[in-house]
Amino acid sequence: MTGTVDAILMASGASVRFGKDDKLLYSFMGKPLASYTLSLVLSFGGFNSVIFVFANPQVASLAEGSGVVMVQNRNPSRGQCESIRLGVSMASGDHYAFFPCDQPLLDDSTLRILLANVAQGGIVVPVFNGRTSSPVIFSKAFREELLSIPDGESGKWVKGRHPERIIRVTVPNGRALSDVDTPAELKRIEDTDG
């Protein structure tokens, strides 16, 4: 790995497909869903800083007292771009690792593989069976673009502008990349992993 990495935890999504409940507070194997990503990043160590972007104060309470930088997203209706902009504005490292907080099976070994491929000017993207996923790690070379992502867009907007800078990293454990968008997906993952 070249340079320092800021971990930006994306915990302010609207969870539209999940229903009326905030999925990040939903219980997965006895703990709130978002707590898994938070615990992984904190126990991993080695990050320049850990930035927790939240909208719901109840979600924020999961990170209280942990020493992370807390940033409230007051405009989550703008989409993922607002969380990205807020996280990057607080970051000072050479790279920004974006962690959606709905990947409860993400593990230490997968994270190590991704960080080992970080390169100046690159965008690290995990791949399993040809399918890309998260977390994605951007070099600070993309800072200004990340800060100016149009409303309604996501990090895909920046990746689409720089396909030649994408570093596709194949990971051996596809389950580690599983994300949760609906209660049915959460139950399926829990039933398989429990």
Q: Please indicate, yes or no, whether the overall pTM of this predicted structure exceeds 0.85.
A: yes
- pLDDT given for residue 1 in this prediction: 58
**C-beta neighbour count of 174 within 10 angstroms:** 15
- pLDDT given for residue 52 in this prediction: 98
- pLDDT given for residue 48 in this prediction: 96
- Tens digit of each residue's pLDDT (9 = 90 or more) over 59-74: 999 999 999 999 999 9
> Which residue in 135, 47, 139 sits closest to 94, CA to CA?
139
- Helix orientation angle between 108-115 and 33-44, rounded to the nearest 10 degrees: 60
- Tens digit of each residue's pLDDT (9 = 90 or more) over 110-129: 999 999 999 888 999 999 99
Domains, in order of start, for the chain: 5-193 (3.90.550.10)
**C-beta neighbour count of 4 within 10 angstroms:** 16
**C-beta neighbour count of 61 within 10 angstroms:** 12
Tokens of 187: 């139950």
Low-confidence spans in the chain with pLDDT less than 70:
1, 13-21, 182-188, 190-194
CA distance 50 to 38: 9
CA distance 41 to 14: 22
